Chain A
Amino acid sequence: MTGNAGPRPGPGPRGATVAADGGAAGLEQRFDGDSLYALRAAVAAHGSQAGLSDGRTRDLVLVVHELAANAVRHGAGHGRLRLRATRDAVHCEVTDGPAGPPDADGAEPSDTNGAGTEAAAAGAMASGAAAQWRIEPGHGLWLVRRVADEATVQSGPSGTVAAVSFRLDGLGEPAPFGLAQRPEGGCTILAVTGQLDLGSAAEFGGVVDELIAGAPGLRLVLDLTLLSGWDSSGLATLITAQQRVSHHHAARMILAGLPGPLVQRLREAGLDSQFTLAGSTAEAVEALTSPR
């Protein structure tokens, strides 16, 4: 099925337009199964230009690809991506179709963006009206939910619209990544500062591996009070750390002080059950040292 309907060239840079609202950079691109590669390339360029880190840009590309692939495979066979970068986030909308004439683009209500991305992500996505966009463990949308900051899927008269957003760090200088280790009450506290991401995940993983190798009965508290966020590499390195700890029968690990929004994201990703969470390092130390 070829979906490059309309007089404009669908895929490629010539399909891109720059939005006029407040100077925010934007991209609008039609796609079908033959132009997903071009779509990914365009999204990578725009994500990076908007200020997403390398790891978050990779995540954005994966998420947009999964949504677009869903539209191609399980929807109309083609669709349209709208990407809008604001000061705070990169917002993407993937529309299955569209059914309407190609030139009706500008007339569509722009508030679907705001309304969609502000909705609680997981619930909206899990109960989305689009029955054909199934969320199964390991499938595309399931991956989207684990990787995007916010995600919703809604069905409307113009087709199924999936909206995702990736937060930008904002104007403030993000705290640099740092690891600090200290013993406390028979436990090892490893404090993580800044972003746990593509650039820092290997360092974190190496330190955790050393700690596990050095102490078979390791009681590890990850102090995440000052963790500012993660990309999928950061999330993966936390999962890997937990798996490695779990493989050592005597070792245990608790995540302490994880900021509320990140706890929420862990829940939305369905990963909270894989970890033990504690409000503070003191609570974590108590939990690890008190007899069970």
Chain B
Amino acid sequence: MPAEAVDQITDLTPDDHACLTFGEPEDMFDLTAAFVRDGLASGLKVIWVNDAAPQQATKELARRGIAVDAALASGQLAAAECEGRLLSGQEFHAGRGMAWLTGQMAACRREGFPGLRVAVDMSWALRPVTGVEQLPEFEEGIAAALTGTAVSVLCQYDREAFDPVTLATVTALHTRSVATATYYADAVLRICRQYAPPGIRLAGEIDYQHAEPLALALTEAIRFEGDIMINMTALAFIDGSCARMIVDAARGLAASRAVVLHCHPGIEATLVLLGAGDVAGVRLVSEHDG
């Protein structure tokens, strides 16, 4: 059935055919890392077909805390290019793509894995590829092939780059829509959830005028299990009241688990002046941009 509501990446079922739409690469890497992480943790085989070089893809996973090297070495994780799998030269055939997928499903069974997760970067379809009109046929094929199996596929679409008609057509062919939960977004500030590692992410500039969505995001972060990261690496400015709110939330959270505050050194200084460095369980990690 076509998905209407947007679901969480962590809620996928074994035979889901999910459509991930993203506005920026950070969201795509984050959601994909969560998909890969949860798949590996359940003992499934995981394949990420990516339009970029496989090493770059696995580096993005490693940055988000996934033990990439061990999983690659054991054969549980594979990163592959589109070329030779979905594409041949600059040509796409829905049939060839399906043959590759069903081949992987069979191989996975032979290798003894209880199931398979496949993430497919669809950005190849933005290039002048022959046969791109077969994209809906390919998506329909995937949907039919997955029903009742232990195989889930996560198709990744850049919602800024794909035209609305194509997007509407293909999303309707999936069982679920998956996107980053966003608490606030305008031209200056974005507050959203982060999935791998779990937490929230702030980008842009924040001051007291946006304390409300920040409070909402922090309150929801309290409900996540395990350690939490508040990712502020893309935050250029934070005022005293929001910094204090984050320090207070971190103090509350750190009673039961570790909290990582990841930010630019200039932001870190503000947090330290407000006492963040003296809270047991709170770790400040700074990262110079560029």
Contacts and interface: CB of A to CB of B under 8 A. Distances in A.
Interface of A: 33, 36-37, 40, 54-55, 58, 61-62, 65-66, 69, 73, 138-140, 142-143, 146-147, 198, 201-202, 231-233, 235-236, 239-240, 243
A198 B265 contact: yes
B207 A198 contact: no
A212 to B, nearest CB: 14
B220 interface: no
Interface in B120-136: none
A138 B278 CA distance: 14
A40 B205 contact: yes
27 contacts: A33-B209, A37-B205, A40-B205, A40-B237, A61-B237, A62-B237, A65-B207, A65-B239, A69-B241, A138-B247, A142-B240, A143-B240, A143-B270, A143-B274, A146-B273, A198-B269, A201-B269, A231-B269, A235-B269, A236-B268, A236-B272, A236-B273, A236-B277, A239-B277, A240-B272, A243-B277, A243-B278
A73 B208 contact: yes
Across the A-B interface, give the 6 residue pairs with the lowest CB-CB distance, nearest first.
A236-B272, A236-B269, A232-B269, A233-B269, A143-B240, A58-B266
B7 to A, nearest CB: 34
A147 B273 CA distance: 9
Contacts of B188: 37
Given A138-B240, A139-B240, A239 B272 contact: yes
Contact of A232 (B207, B270, B277): B270
A201 B265 contact: yes
Interface of B: 188, 205, 207-209, 237, 239-241, 244, 247, 265-266, 268-270, 272-275, 277-278, 284, 286, 288
A243 B208 CA distance: 29
Contact of A36 (B207, B241, B270, B274): B207
Contacts, number: 76
A37 B265 CA distance: 21
Given A65-B237, A69-B239, A233-B269, 17 more contacts: A37-B205, A55-B266, A61-B237, A62-B239, A62-B270, A65-B239, A139-B244, A147-B273, A198-B269, A202-B265, A202-B288, A232-B266, A233-B265, A233-B266, A236-B272, A240-B272, A243-B277
Contacts of B237: 40, 61-62, 65
A272 to B, nearest CB: 15
Contact of B273 (A36, A37, A69, A239): A239
Contacts of A142: 240
A84 B107 CA distance: 71
